[in-house]
Amino acid sequence: MTLYKCVSCILLWNIIAAFALVDRQLHTYSADGRNYGKDKTESLTGSFPFLMPSVSPKTPDLYLCTPIKVDPTTSYYIVGYKPNATMNTAHHMLLYGCGEPGNTKLTWNCGEMSKSTEEESGSPCGPQSHSQILYAWARDAPRLDLPSGVGFKVGKNSQTKYLVLQVHYAHVDQFKDGSTDDSGIFLQYTEKPLTKLAGTLLLGTDGIIPPMKTEHMEAACEITENKTIHPFAYRTHTHGLGKVVSGYRVRSNAQGVQEWTLLGKRDPLTPQMFYNVENNSPIVAGDFVAARCTMKSTRHRVTEIGPTNEDEMCNFYLMYYVDEGEPLDMKYCFSQGPPNYYWDNPDTGLHNIPDQDASIL
């Protein structure tokens, strides 16, 4: 994979990239770490360390992003992710595939709702560019290997021209002495063309959680594209109030009754890795995908959706592949959340909804 990044030049980046994005050259490595060069890697899987460039965050709940530009002359297929982080340092990490990065600096503050800091700011991806989440990690989750023959396509003939790593630093006490961090992800990839192209669909909500209450945050979207997707993994994410997160495929039977097929259900405070789906039956046009987070508040205040540990999040990630063609154009499915949106609202098109108590582990 010829991403523009030189692992041996991190210190140089910090000097040069103070004014502009530096093309960071990736050399091609085999799985055992030896540098074979591009001409000998056609059938090899390489490993690329996409890491934070020795950052020293100063502000609690800071979201930092760093980009790499993908060689536009070659197609690459990401087939696995090996995290290089611990939950003591990084609250969570996201890997974005972008048409353009949200900033031209080596690092920038990419918290969508974060407070002003000394860092340059911007979204992970450019405001009008392609944006999708390729991977997510939290709570000491282990590595993820995609199914055989499945990969995320980036570079040539792909909308993903840049990769952007986002790391959320919830606590920064350990950096007060000037210590630095290189949290990130080792990307496992191949240049061998793959026909099963992977995609990730993120379901989530906005909304609020009342004080001292149990609240159900729900989202659902209809699949309107004429594509067949094969789900294979899911991941849940909340902050401290989450008790369980569940995801479903919703399909109407011959009698017009909607059947809710469980894709996955987890306690979000366990390692937030990607788990095998409970049912890998295809999802087709006309089906709905739906997610619910059960939140239990012991706080004497309202909790809002937001980026900090004092806020909450309700996320269900569904990873899938297509046998032919491109993954879904739809990358995100979000609702307004409570108190404005619930599955049983009359305009959602949903019925035969599982009991709320069924979402409790």
Summarize the annotated binding site for Cu(2+) as residue ranges. Answer: 91-92, 168, 237, 239, 313
166 is a catalytic site residue: yes
Burial label for 194, CB within 10 Å (0-12, 13-18, 19+), is buried
- Written as six digits, the tokens of 200 are 């990730």
Cβ atoms of residues 83 and 141 within 8 Å: yes
Which one, of 75, 66, 122, 117, lies nearest residue 96 by Cα?
66
Question: What is d(CA 289, CA 296) in angstroms, rounded to the nearest whole number?
Answer: 24
313 is a catalytic site residue: yes
Question: What is d(CA 234, CA 265) in angstroms, rounded to the nearest whole number?
Answer: 9
CA 244 to each of CA 47, 201, 211, 215, 301: distance values in angstroms, whole numbers, following the listed order: 34, 19, 18, 11, 21
Question: What is d(CA 181, CA 340) in angstroms, rounded to the nearest whole number?
Answer: 40
Which one, of 76, 206, 151, 204, lies nearest residue 327 by Cα?
151
In this structure, which amino acid lies at residue 353?
Answer: I
168 is a catalytic site residue: yes
DSSP state of 114: P
Which one, of 144, 102, 96, lies nearest residue 123 by Cα?
102
Question: What is d(CA 98, CA 82) in angstroms, rounded to the nearest whole number?
Answer: 20
Which residue ranges make up the annotated binding site? Answer: 91-92, 168, 237, 239, 313
Q: Which listed residue (130, 168, 216, 295) is catalytic?
A: 168
Q: Which listed residue (166, 188, 272, 295) is catalytic?
A: 166
Which one, of 6, 109, 13, lies nearest residue 57 by Cα?
109
- Written as six digits, the tokens of 250 are 């919703």
Q: Which listed residue (92, 216, 217, 272) is catalytic?
A: 92
**Which residues does residue 101 pair with via DSSP β-bridges, in sequence order?**
125
351 is a catalytic site residue: no
Which one, of 254, 252, 260, lies nearest residue 278 by Cα?
260
Q: How many CB atoms lie within 10 A of CB 312?
A: 25
DSSP state of 15: H
Q: How many CB atoms lie within 10 A of CB 5?
A: 25
Q: Which listed residue (1, 52, 91, 295) is catalytic?
A: 91
Q: Which listed residue (130, 132, 216, 237) is catalytic?
A: 237
Which residues belong to the active site? 91-92, 166, 168, 237, 239, 313
